[in-house]
Amino acid sequence: MALTTLVTTALLWPFDISSAAIQAPKAPVFRELGSLPAPGFFENIAIRPSTSSLLATRLTGGPEVYIVKDPASSTPDFSLLATVPDLDVLLGIDQLIPDEEACAGEERVYVVVGGKTPTGSPFDMVVGSAALYTVTFPHLDNDEDVEVAHLSALSADTGLVNGLVAVPGGVLIADSLRSRVSFYNVTDNSFTESAYEYPEMTAPEGAAMFGINGVQIRDNHLYWSNTALSSIYRIALDDNKKEGCDVRPELVFNASSIASAVDDFNFDIYGNIYAATHFDGTIVYSDAQTGEMKVVAGGIGEWDLAGCTALEFGKGEYDQDTLYVTTNSATFGNETRGGRIVAVDF
């Protein structure tokens, strides 16, 4: 099946409720759900809808996936879920789009991407070492007995893999070194290195940070963050494959006036954007209707969200107004803390 067909079948995932009343976030309350010893670093987060459990990838210190069970409760359970073999670092994680069996209620398979590095730093990831693994939950209603399996190596030219988002038939993967989005087809095990490639995915010449970082799909559009530009762009999935058309990405979020960088990002159910700023330790909010932007959680020099890397809203009955955030290891003065998973209750 063609890439365009596979990707554009995501028209209603996530669904669009842009006609709903826009809700601005309230003053946040922070709850720490789990942490790593310094300098452990959490990179990305996903949520298992059937149990509301949080899944977080570890970037430095081991290719591990951690879990937080009952994150909305007063006694969340934080523990190591799985170790991925033959890799040194893990980055993006997402739930694979359910197939016909999963549509009957088995939302069980997640995919993670990572690579090898001789120094332990993702910035030294060996070109061509990136690979995809699956983390499968045998049971729908609990998180026990997970199974880890190699899915596929990526191409020899793949650089620093980063954000990952599932689409029908496969996954889209941001390559921060090559400034592009690649596509892995789970149906035929094929790989398209430059499924999406635009100047807006690159960093300005001489920039200290890379360009493309996080990726999301919403309303038949591919969104991506550009870390060096503190910005988020989007393009209609259909437009990418229109021959003879000079279609350019649309700038939908520019936080350069209030943030030094943008890492991963996500949406609330109203389409508002929430972005983690990493170095600033803040969450920047952008109103979907007015475009108004402001910091809604955290602060420079504050521990609450220091080094925030990724975020996602809860999917359970009691935590749909809770933003779950991962962080890296941070140092203020003489104190260093490892990566954390933090609940931000609005």
Check if the beta carbon of residue 203 is closer than 8 Å to that of residue 163. no
- For position 3, what pLDDT does the model report? 40
Q: Specify the pTM.
A: 0.91
In a domain, 304, yes or no: no
pLDDT band at 85 (very low <50, low <70, confident <90, very high): very high
In a domain, 279, yes or no: no
Query: Token match 């430059």: residue?
Result: 194
- Angle at Cα 122 formed by Cα 48 and Cα 149, nearest 5°? 45
Total tally of structural domains belonging to the chain: 1
- For position 35, what pLDDT does the model report? 98
- For position 236, what pLDDT does the model report? 95
Check if the beta carbon of residue 304 is closer than 8 Å to that of residue 291. no
- For position 240, what pLDDT does the model report? 64
Q: Which two tokens stand for residue 115?
A: 């690579």
Higher pLDDT, 1 or 168: 168
In a domain, 176, yes or no: yes
- For position 23, what pLDDT does the model report? 63
d(CA 329, CA 307): 7
In a domain, 18, yes or no: no
Residue 22 DSSP code: P
In a domain, 37, yes or no: no
CATH code at 133?
A: 2.120.10.30
- For position 238, what pLDDT does the model report? 80
Residue 200 DSSP code: G
In a domain, 255, yes or no: yes
Q: Which two tokens stand for residue 262?
A: 């943008």
- For position 97, what pLDDT does the model report? 61
- For position 303, what pLDDT does the model report? 96
In a domain, 328, yes or no: no
pLDDT band at 45 (very low <50, low <70, confident <90, very high): very high
Residue range(s) defining the domain that contains residue 110: 44-271
In a domain, 343, yes or no: no
Q: What is the pLDDT of residues 147-206, one digit of tens each?
A: 999 999 999 999 999 999 999 899 999 999 999 999 999 999 999 999 999 999 999 999
Q: What is the pLDDT of residues 109-139, one digit of tens each?
A: 999 999 999 999 999 999 999 999 999 998 8
d(CA 97, CA 105): 12
Half-sphere exposure of 110 (CA within 13 A, CB side): 31
What does pLDDT average to over the chain?
A: 90
- For position 22, what pLDDT does the model report? 47
Residues 6+ apart with CB under 8 A from 308: 263, 276, 277, 278, 281, 282, 283, 298, 325, 326, 327, 342
Query: Token match 């475009």: residue?
Result: 291
- For position 290, what pLDDT does the model report? 95
Instruction: Please tell me the least confidently modeled range out of 20-24, 169-173, 203-207, 329-333.
Output: 20-24
